[in-house]
Structure 1
Amino acid sequence: MEFDPQNSSEEILHHYKAGIGVFTEKMPGLAEHFNSFAEECFKEGELTQKEKQLIALGISLYSQDEYCIVYHIKGCLDQGCSEQEIYEAVGVTAAFGGGATMSQAVTLVQECVQELNQLKQ
């Protein structure tokens, strides 16, 4: 399954998790080290996990990484971010990423926030 922006956020997250599973089977040491590193990066510290998810969302938008955009929108929502906080992070990213960031914001970000909020209900 290739990335298709028409897929639901849930399908995109499932596709990513399935891919990580296969990669972990093929490269267990590398996957274990990467996962440990990522967990350490997202631990609560001087920055909250919520703030770290907002930063990760901004980087994902700037780099045009659709899987990470969806993954970190979910992370933001899981950490209690409001839609307004997410959109403010998008705005800051757009100050650096311009039109490419805005194209993701007005499509994928809005659709994903709406869909993932509905799944939480």
Structure 2
Amino acid sequence: MSWIDIGALEDVPLRGTRLVKTKLGCIGLFRTGEAEVFAASNTCPHKGGPLNEGIVHGRRVTCPLHNMVFDLETGAAQGADEGRIETFPVRIEAGRILLDVTALARSAA
């Protein structure tokens, strides 16, 4: 893995989001706890909704367009509908958020 520093943990509000723009598309950062952040594709696969504008609850995010819930650990849609969002390895070190660019380069974010 190859980690890149993408910002301070305090820049992402608790139960909030921030957007990271990459050459392959936008990645959403979802802060679910004091020291817990997930990184995932920002686009809902069903209606194209911007997930960074959704509601973060537990370890999930709800699409703002049609209320589909996605598990931020696995990317799987919750409920009757099928689908998933891509997730990316992320870690926190000394209050900084690090994203694995190796995984990002292999994806189609």
Instruction: Give TM-score, length-normalised by structure 1.
Output: 0.22
Instruction: Give TM-score, length-normalised by structure 2.
Output: 0.24
Higher strand proportion (structure 1 or 2) = 2
Q: Whose radius of gyration is greater, 1 or 2?
A: 1
